[in-house]
Amino acid sequence: LAAAGSAVGLGNIWRFPYLAAKQGGGIFLLIYILLVVTFGYTIMVSEIALGRKTGQSPIGAYQSLAKRYSFIGWIAVFVAFIILSYYGVIGGWVIKYFYEFVAGHSLALTDSGFFAAFTGETWQPLLWFFLFMLMTYLVVVNGVEKGIEKVSKVLMPVLVVLSVAIAAYSAFLPGALEGIKYLFIPNFSQFTPMTLLAALGQMFYSMSLAMGIMITYGSYLQKSNDLSKCVKRIEFFDAGISILAAMMIIPAIFSFSAGDSAALSANLNQGPSLMFVTLPKVFGSMPFGGVVGAAFFLLVFFAALTSSISLMECVVSTLCDKWKLRRGPASAIVAGGAFLLGIPSSLGNGVWSSFTIFGKDFLSFFDFITNAVLMPVGALLTCLFIGYVVGVKTVSDEVKISSPFKREAMYNVMIKYIAPICIVAILVTSVLEAFGILTF
């Protein structure tokens, strides 16, 4: 459950729908699901098994199996820190929207220009970002994850129920059927290498993989727990929430664009602002939309908080273990550092929007470099480490302690050959694309 809490977050509700909208809908969904049940499964089983076997956090786990390879753990911690920095910026936007709904300003939020005007400001987004980081810090420093976990156990099912209701509502908006078709019927002509790359990055991000987080959670798992079953449940839950979020948003885009194909294409391609622009319109069109909107953003906030806690915890616990820092100072350093690093991501929507790296604003750049480059590198190293350094048996023996390992044959081939080759191919493509050598 804790691992599912880390997995389900902004990645599912904010990131997945805008990628699916942009990358061709059904074709993206199909590739995403295929990746989850093959790559995702393989890497998650590996991380949880390494954690349970060694009983350690990421760097310790690599170190105890083969000392020279502890750098893989460090890469993971570095990635977690970068993600934390911009995750907080978006977390701040979520709190702002919650506040606006509670303050009864739901009508103002339905205006398409509201989001850009708000994120383009200098101080306000920074303030909400600071608040989000502060809350994450307070939970981590006080060690009250247990409390948050209890709250999440109640709130996450509520999020599911509310999401189902909103998705059902969206499906019945006039013209929404086209959106449902777009999301569920793959159009193979829309496939580009970018679709694959985006789906791969999203899979790592959404399942909290290649960041050592699942190693940490694995270290708390009992030997009697059925490891393979746990992974399947996390996958199912995580992918389910992503699909629900896409169902809330994508049919609504088709409905609101009402046959205007230029508007439709602009809306489908809008990227990170999609959830914040489209959902308030959905709420605006329904009875009691203000209350539903407030409830929804509150639940998204909790989902985001459980994920950001896991990101911060990953970095803090490493500093405590390796640099012998106490929890208080370590948490302050990490929270303060992530806030500073996040400032460009926040300002990149406004005063710093003219600064771009590889044509991307700061937030998109950090998002790209973590999801499309560093996470695949981390995952590649994990595969090579297991396949060729410690041996696949280390993982399969660990899985078999508690249950039969039905997908063992697939696992072995995947981790030694298919995953590394595909990851390298995708990585090379993504780097060439970033340098403008390839365009899709």
Q: Which residues bind ligand PFF (CB under 6 A)?
A: 6-7, 9-12, 80, 83, 205-206, 208, 211, 213, 307, 310-311
Least distance in Å: CB of 370 to ligand PFF?
A: 9
Closest CB 8 distance from ligand PFF, rounded Å: 6
Q: How far is the CB of 115 from ligand PFF (least distance, A)?
A: 19
| H or E element at residue 240 | helix 227-257
Q: Which residues of 190-225 are buried (b: 16+ CB within 10 A; e: fewer)?
A: ebeebbbbbbbbbbbbbbbbbbbbbbbbbbebeeeb
Nearer of residues 2 and 434 to ligand PFF, judged by Cβ: 2
> What radius of gyration do the chain's Cα atoms show?
21
Nearer to ligand PFF, 79 or 250 (CB): 79
Looking at beta carbons only, is 85 or 208 nearer to ligand PFF?
Answer: 208
Q: How far apart are CA 260 and CA 275, in angstroms?
A: 20
Q: Where are the beta strands (DSSP E) in 253-323?
A: none
Residue type, 261: S
Q: Cβ 276 to ligand PFF, closest distance in Å?
A: 15
Query: Which of the 8 DSSP states describes residue 112?
Result: T
In the complex, the smallest distance separating the C-beta of residue 203 from ligand PFF, rounded to whole angstroms, is 10
Nearest to 163 by CA among 47, 247, 70, 230: 247
Query: Which spans in 401-440 are helix H?
Result: 408-413, 419-434
Give φ, ψ of 96 to 5 degrees: -60, -45
| Nearest distance from C-beta of residue 77 to ligand PFF, angstroms | 10
Closer to ligand PFF by CB, 11 or 25: give it. 11
3-class secondary structure for 168-214?
HHHHCCCCHHHHHHHHHCCCHHHCCHHHHHHHHHHHHHHCCCCCCHH
Q: Residue written as tokens 């398409």?
A: 112
Quick one: 110 or 163, whose CB is closer to ligand PFF? 163
Record the tokens describing residue 373, joined without a space.
């480059």
Nearer to ligand PFF, 119 or 307 (CB): 307
Bridge partners of residue 346, in order along the sequence: none
Nearer to ligand PFF by Cβ, of 49 and 314: the residue is 314
Q: How far is the CB of 318 from ligand PFF (least distance, A)?
A: 12
What whole-number distance in Å separates Cα of residue 240 and Cα of residue 232? 12
27 vs 241, beta carbon nearer ligand PFF? 241
Cβ 362 to ligand PFF, closest distance in Å?
Answer: 19
Name the residue whose CB lies closest to ligand PFF.
Answer: 11
